Amino acid sequence: LKVAEYRILAIGDIVGAESTDRVCRAVGRLRNEYRADLVIANGENAARGNGLDRVTAESLLSSGIDVLTSGNHIWQKHGMQDYIDGNRFVLRPANYPSGTPGKGFVVYDSCGIRVLVMNVLGTVFMEPLACPFEAVEKMLAENAGEYCISFLDIHAEATSEKLALAYYFDGRISAVCGTHTHVQTSDARVLPGGTGYITDLGMCGAENSVLGVKKECVIERLRTHMPVRFENPEGEATFLEGALYTCDTATGKALSVEAIRCRI
Ligand code: FE2
């Protein structure tokens, strides 16, 4: 019996306007290359400076990314609060207080397969938002019976928090990734219960940079402790980092997960 496989390409934090342009140009090719059924990217730093704006979100979504997840920088740009209410394919972390614009999940329908895509913010070394464990539990309960495959982006600083969340939901979510640190981890694997997992996808940004920011700016900030304007490098070799999950549509569990890094 042939297993029906569903493939999710998850792309790490896109950093800055130039990386956004490069991702837009590359995503169609990557989609084919990896035979991805669904492409998800974290877009919270995709606009110039950081944050996400309407134009940037629209260009990423029209280039072949199906859902944008986000994190702590989602409200940075003016107008995002209105925009996110009108576009269900741009998520904000689910554990913001009730009444916050936008949603922390969407059920994406592709080729008859319904995928629950969720986004949550970690609380260790970050804003003291509501418990991410409870927020994910609530989204799973609210959407029970409405999806076949599920995906969770945990936007968090602490590797321990991401791992703990992944183990807590092991076997109940098809694919879990961490984002936010912009450094890809080497622990992509299927957990014992069947959840595909990686602690951090990494980023789409300049190779010779500090987390996508001009290295000189970050060095100066750390040496002088004075305010320094962060800029993104221009015209430099750029990495796209992420992971490819293959899921079994019969069981909703992951069959494999592999980390991806390529030049774009
Ligand atoms: Fe972040």
DSSP sequence for 25-68: HHHHHHHHHTT-SEEEEE-TT-SSSSS--HHHHHHHHHHT--EE
The CA distance from 236 to 250, in Å, is 43
Inter-CA distances, 90 with 173, 185, 229, 243, Å: 20, 25, 27, 20
Residue 108 sits at φ, ψ, to 5 deg, of -95, 125
Crossing angle, helix 132-142 and helix 159-168, to 10 degrees? 30
If we measure between CA atoms, which residue out of 107, 209, 109, 91 comes closest to residue 154? 91
Inter-CA distances, 125 with 68, 120, 189, 242, 243, Å: 24, 15, 25, 23, 25
> Residue 7, CB half-sphere, CA atoms under 13 Å: how many?
12
Quote the ligand 1 centre to 182 CA distance (angstroms). 9
Quote the ligand 1 centre to 101 CA distance (angstroms). 18
The CA distance from 58 to 80, in Å, is 12
Indicate if the pLDDT at residue 111 is higher than 90. Answer: no
Quote the ligand 1 centre to 111 CA distance (angstroms). 31
Instruction: Provide the residues around ligand 1 (an ion) whose CB is within 5 A.
Output: 71-72, 180
Quote the ligand 1 centre to 2 CA distance (angstroms). 40
Quote the ligand 1 centre to 121 CA distance (angstroms). 9
End-to-end CA distance of the chain: 38
- For the full predicted model, state whether its pTM sits above 0.75: yes
Indicate if the pLDDT at residue 178 is higher than 70. Answer: yes
Indicate if the pLDDT at residue 122 is higher than 70. Answer: yes
The one-character DSSP state at 170 is B
* Residues designated as active site: 73
- Which tokens go with 221? 């900030």
Indicate if the pLDDT at residue 44 is higher than 50. Answer: yes
Mean pLDDT of 3-30: 95
Quote the ligand 1 centre to 126 CA distance (angstroms). 9
pLDDT tens, residue by residue, 52-90: 999 999 999 999 999 999 999 999 999 999 999 999 999
Quote the ligand 1 centre to 202 CA distance (angstroms). 11
Q: Provide the residue type at 237 as one letter.
A: A
